A and B are shown apart, each in its own frame.
Chain A
Amino acid sequence: MRDIVIKIENLYKEYRLGTLGSGTLHKDLQSWWAKARGKEDPNSMVITAAGQKRDINERFWALQDITLDVQQGEILGIIGANGAGKSTLLKILSRVTAPTKGTVKVRGRIASLLEVGTGFHPELTGKENVYLNGAILGMTKNEVDRKFTEIVEFAEVEKFIDTPVKRYSSGMYVRLAFAVAAHLEPEILIVDEVLAVGDARFQKKCLGKMEDVGKQGRTILFVSHNMPMIASLCSRAVLLDQGRLIGQGPTTEIIQTYFSRGRISKGEADFSQAARKPGDDTAHLLAARLKNKRGQVTTEFSIDEEIIIEMEYQVIREGARINPNIHINMADGTKAFVASDAVIDNEAILKTKPGRYLARCRIPGNFLNDGTYYIGTALSTMETSKVHFNEKDLLQLTVVDPIEGTVTRGRYVGAIPGIIRPALEWESENLA
């Protein structure tokens, strides 16, 4: 058996839901004064919208009783829905935060790649940033000296290495940042979703680099929502759910467990052969698909690409005014939006006869933000407002931002928050 390089024993991490303290000295003094007089602390409760009081010091366990051994040289995938505790685990391992209970024993140096380009300063040249970033990630100056040529070659920025990075294109910036991180030589590397950026060719290069690192006997912990990537890189995976470790084993098995527990990562859901189809005696769902412009079923879309959602359904009862709609949810369950074919004088909807129908909805390119979205399909009738089927989170799609050439980001390369990221019309004029 190979050596164990990370030994996690009964690890717990607790977070408080409210903020620690009130944030101002004034309110803390107020609380203290109330307590001193034996009264109820005026700041310990928040009034919820329903008018109920809720304790802001409520706690929750982000990680509960995690016990895990990681062996030397393995590439371990960590999967789970958002909020399952993956990032918390990585934060503890990379020493960004401390555990509440339990221990983690580590053999060797850990470096984490929680986000590329951490600590890059726009005024410094590419070379200066390589040294600074390298040092932040834990390299000594000597190590960077030895690796410098290799890093610059990998990033393909030889000509611009003495230019301040504020003049770099966003693609160059990301490449340089990743190159530094990829040339770290820690015994254990923690990678969190960094590969979601950069163009496809560079992503491939990064994956190759990571596989090399794995072959050199180093250990990698890899967190991603990108299941194909996890499947191709990792031999073993662990599944987290609501802070607990609920499975570990061969990657393919664990990925299957993950999907069977709820969400399906498919571009297509087909019920046409199913014994029980979603629906009632008015209509039922036959299939739903995600397609790109070329008509291919897929789950991955570039941010500027049109997303076509198809919904195939069977109308059984004569005369129903059928209204197909789609529900777009975020990974955390937030509803992004609902769209429905509610045009009043739509011939097809007005005179629905029994038979098979296909509804097609197009989400334009440069509308959704990058990230993962869950698509639910539903069918309702308007006049009595009845829902015939409502399949939540039936399909999953990922919008990928290639960064270079993205019209909605300009030279900025960091994360852009928000549910949608529409390309809007802008006008700027000089008034002076």
Chain B
Amino acid sequence: MAAVKSNQDETGWTMVLRPRSGWFDINFSELWQYRDLTMLFVRRNFVATYKQTILGPLWFLLQPLLTTLIFTVIFGRIAKIPTDGLPQVLFYLAGIVCWNYFAACLTKTSDTFVANANLFGKVYFPRLSLPIANVVTNLLTFLIQFALFLIFMAYFYLRGSSITPNYLIFLTPLLVLQMAALGLGFGILISSLTTKYRDLMHLVTFGVQLWMYATPVVYPLSQIPVKWQWVYAFNPMTSIIEIFRSAFLGAGTINPWHIGSSVAVTLTILAIGIILFSRIEKTFMDTV
């Protein structure tokens, strides 16, 4: 897509197509005009996911439950990694629910170009609406898993476990937004690079898995020696998960520097992702 001016200019043209120019010409108002399409993609994704599984929506609950069980056995019982004094099940479930959302946003958007080459080659619509739809679809899955987490939390709370939910809970929407932005940013960044380097695709699943172990999901940040904790400032997911645990369970390491760098890294990744995406989308069809 060439540089497009949607507003009527003095000569009365509604659209002017030119060779691609500049680094940043994503048309956000157009993306908004196509919001119906984005929501229909969300619906399509959801219906397709439901209809193609045997267990249907139940799968969204089983996956975090089984992972929590495995983590509890391996990291809790066998490796005996401390969990900031929190019940192990809640500790792991909190981490998994957050990580799942981020990881799903990343992987589901990372093949945007390659998976939709056929569609993109036929008709124009703002390409960003597809990855955004994926992020929204994953949000529904997240809400289901989040509800599961709340149920477990209520159960442990009533049984008198030492969990102390607090006012930080109100930050949850912001945390979700940041995870979405980070997952989307990384996803479209990778999807742009995979148009040129197909071998990156193999790295995604593996990389996301490794990244999880570099994030305090199966261990708390407090277990990391203080002199090495600065390394975690570069991982934006660190502060998100630690704040989430502090908010709902009352234990976690909150470091203002970590929060600052986490937000900064997220915004940078998102900006780079969008810039690269908007460049690639214009010539993508010429390279496949």
Contacts and interface: CB of A to CB of B under 8 A. Distances in A.
Interface of A: 7, 15-16, 19-21, 23-26, 28, 91-110, 112, 114-115, 118-119, 121, 123-124, 128, 131-132, 135-138, 140-141
A106 B14 contact: yes
Interface stretch (B58-66, B170-178, B191-199): B191-199
Interface residues of B, number: 42
B17 A95 contact: yes
Nearest to A121: B44
A19 B196 CA distance: 9
Contacts of A112: 122-124
Contacts of B11: 105
Nearest to B3: A98
A15 B288 CA distance: 11
Contacts of B2: 92, 95, 98-99, 104
Nearest to A192: B122
Interface in B1-55: 1-2, 4, 11-20, 33-34, 36-37, 40-41, 43-44, 47-48, 51-52
Nearest to B20: A98
B287 A20 contact: yes
A20 B15 contact: no
Interface centre among B18, B19, B20 (most CB of A within 10 A): B19
A25 B193 CA distance: 10
B268 interface: no
Nearest to B15: A106
A24 B198 CA distance: 6
Contacts, number: 126
B285 interface: yes
Given A95-B2, A121-B44, A106 B16 contact: yes
B286 A95 contact: no
B119 A26 contact: no
Contacts of A115: 122
B44 A136 contact: no
B120 A121 contact: no
A383 B19 CA distance: 61
Contacts of A128: 40, 43-44, 47
B34 A104 contact: no
Nearest to B38: A135
Nearest to A25: B197
Given A105-B15, A106-B15, A94 B124 contact: yes
Given A20-B287, A97-B286, A105-B16, A135 B40 contact: yes
B283 interface: yes
Given A96-B120, A118-B123, A131 B40 contact: yes
Contact of A96 (B19, B33, B36, B123): B123
A39 B238 CA distance: 45
Contacts of A131: 40
A432 to B, nearest CB: 20
A104 B17 contact: yes
Contacts of B285: 91, 96-97
Contacts of B204: none
A327 to B, nearest CB: 33
A23 B197 contact: yes
Contacts of B43: 128, 132
Contacts of B121: 96, 114
28 contacts: A15-B286, A20-B287, A21-B196, A23-B198, A92-B17, A95-B2, A95-B17, A98-B1, A98-B2, A98-B19, A98-B282, A104-B2, A104-B16, A105-B15, A105-B17, A106-B13, A108-B14, A112-B123, A114-B122, A118-B119, A119-B119, A123-B47, A123-B48, A128-B40, A132-B41, A135-B36, A136-B119, A138-B125
A102 B287 CA distance: 21
B200 interface: yes
A15 B121 CA distance: 15
Given A23-B197, A98-B283, A105-B15, A118 B122 contact: yes
A107 B12 contact: yes
Contact of B123 (A7, A136, A140): A136
Contacts of B196: 20-21, 23, 28
B16 A94 contact: no
Nearest to B284: A97
A123 B13 CA distance: 40
A228 B47 CA distance: 44
Contacts of A7: 13
Contacts of B18: 98-99, 103
A115 B196 CA distance: 26
A137 B123 CA distance: 7
Contacts of A103: 16-18
A167 B11 CA distance: 50
Given A99-B2, A105-B13, 7 more contacts: A23-B198, A95-B4, A99-B18, A104-B16, A106-B17, A114-B123, A118-B122
Contacts of B47: 121, 123-124, 128
Nearest to B34: A135
A35 to B, nearest CB: 17
B51 A123 contact: yes
A96 B17 contact: no
